Amino acid sequence: MATPKSALRRALRAAKLEQGETLYDLGSGTARALIIGEKEFGAKGIGFEIGLPIFISSRINLFLRRAKSVRVFRKSFFDADLSKADVIFMFLTPRAFVGLEDKFVSEIRPGCRVVTFSSPLKFWQPQETISLPDRQEKLYLYKA
């Protein structure tokens, strides 16, 4: 499942992603968030994806779109260092969030914005909940 591009654009605008900042996508799928981050916001991108076929498709997409400021890694985001993120995007099931609170508290830098699509974090209160036109899912914005 991929986040609709319109929702990604809205998410990155809500997070105030700026040129030169670094966007992380935890569970980066086809890398579409990171490609939009680079092409439309001028951001660098880092993604982590455990699924092999989708990881390969993300590498192909990055090559085809010439997304030179984006790197994707085939590993769990639980094994990644999140301390360089300015904005973190996630579209994950609530189960995949388990254990993330401790990692966020110890690693992400103050001022980092976190935005989730569809599932809110259980451990933080959103600063903003954003409805999307013609969709049931919402965006949830948090600030570290």
Q: Enumerate binding residues for ligand SAM (CB under 6 A).
A: 1-3, 25, 27-29, 32-33, 48-51, 54, 76-78, 91-92, 96
| Helix, strand or coil, per DSSP, at residue 55 | helix
Distance of closest approach, residue 119 Cβ to ligand SAM, in angstroms: 10
What are the C-alpha distances in Å from 42 to residues 26, 121, 133?
A: 19, 27, 25
| Distance, CA of 127 to CA of 125 (rounded, Å) | 6
Task: Report the residue number, 88 or 110, with the smaller CB distance to ligand SAM.
Answer: 88
Task: Report the residue number, 8 or 110, with the smaller CB distance to ligand SAM.
Answer: 8
| Distance, CA of 97 to CA of 136 (rounded, Å) | 21
Task: Report the residue number, 58 or 112, with the smaller CB distance to ligand SAM.
Answer: 58
Sequence-ordered strand ranges (E) for 9-99: 22-26, 44-48, 70-73, 87-90
Residue 75 host element (H or E): none
Task: Report the residue number, 52 or 110, with the smaller CB distance to ligand SAM.
Answer: 52
Distance of closest approach, residue 3 Cβ to ligand SAM, in angstroms: 3
- DSSP letters, 86-101, are SEEEE---GGGGTTHH
Q: Which residue is nearest to ligand SAM (CB)?
A: 27
Distance of closest approach, residue 90 Cβ to ligand SAM, in angstroms: 7
Distance of closest approach, residue 87 Cβ to ligand SAM, in angstroms: 13
